[in-house]
Structure 1
């Protein structure tokens, strides 16, 4: 029987996947490496059952496929320091933007509840647009 993974185990496996430095990533290799973290070799199915692990795996697999250099090397330390400062500034801006979006979502959630909107109404798909319709058919 497969071992149920705790939140700590899931976080450890996600970190393992994010730090994967081999040229190819497979579920079998992850299961093998995760055995030392989890205490028992998990199955692919037990790992795949957790959304965080699956998302990390797919992201890492896409990154490996793109063959983007993981660690671009700047020409000098000054260029590296400048790049780091710019990236840290961007991270701060994005965190603030994310905080504002979360705050807006909470407000929308409250207003939807206040006006009797159900989750199914909020998740309803967009209406289909018939682009081949002529103006004569409107009348």
Structure 2
């Protein structure tokens, strides 16, 4: 049976992805194990369950987006003193979080435009608000 995740669970999983170690390969299996260990989910949610949630899927995709850049940063960190490695790791995590939040914000703004258009067109109804924009060429 598919596990249902709360908003807090989703936020915690996205945080795990934001702070994913640069030198560790990101896979769905490893993410599921990290969730089981760090968030103490027993059993851990499956890849299919996690992919149903757009925030998790987008954060995962952003984490996978540039593995070569992650390796370059990782190799430069090896030359840094410990205190600077920690600071660089924190900066990288915060930059990852910023990228994710900017993408989420953009998606929410797009959704708002759809809702605004449909609210004007049909009146206020949740079912109507979630309809996609109509094609202008038929008007």
TM-score by length of 2: 0.52
Counterpart for residue 11 of structure 1: 11
Structure 1's consecutive aligned runs of 4 or more residues displaced over 4 angstroms after TM superposition are none
SS in 1 for 2:73: coil
Structure with the larger RCO, 1 or 2 (CA within 8 Å, 6+ apart): 2
Q: What SS does structure 2 have at the residue aligned with 1:69?
A: helix
How many correspondences in the alignment? 96
- Structure holding more helix per residue: 2
Question: Can you give the 5+ residue segments of structure 1 that lack an aligned partner in the other structure?
Answer: 74-90, 128-139
Larger Rg belongs to: 1
Q: Distance in 1 between matches of 2:40 and 2:30?
A: 14
Tell me what 1:69 maps to: 73
* Offset at residue 126 of structure 1 (A): 7.2
Instruction: Tell me how large the CA RMSD over aligned residues is.
Output: 3.9
Paired residues for 1:1-139 under 5 Å: 1-21=1-21, 22-36=23-37, 37-40=39-42, 41-67=44-70, 69=73, 109=116, 113=120, 122-124=133-135
Q: Could you tell me which residue of structure 1 aligns to residue 89 of structure 2?
A: none
In structure 2, relative to structure 1, the CA distance for the partners of 1:115 and 1:42 (3 Å cut) is closer
Change (3 A) 1:54 1:126: farther
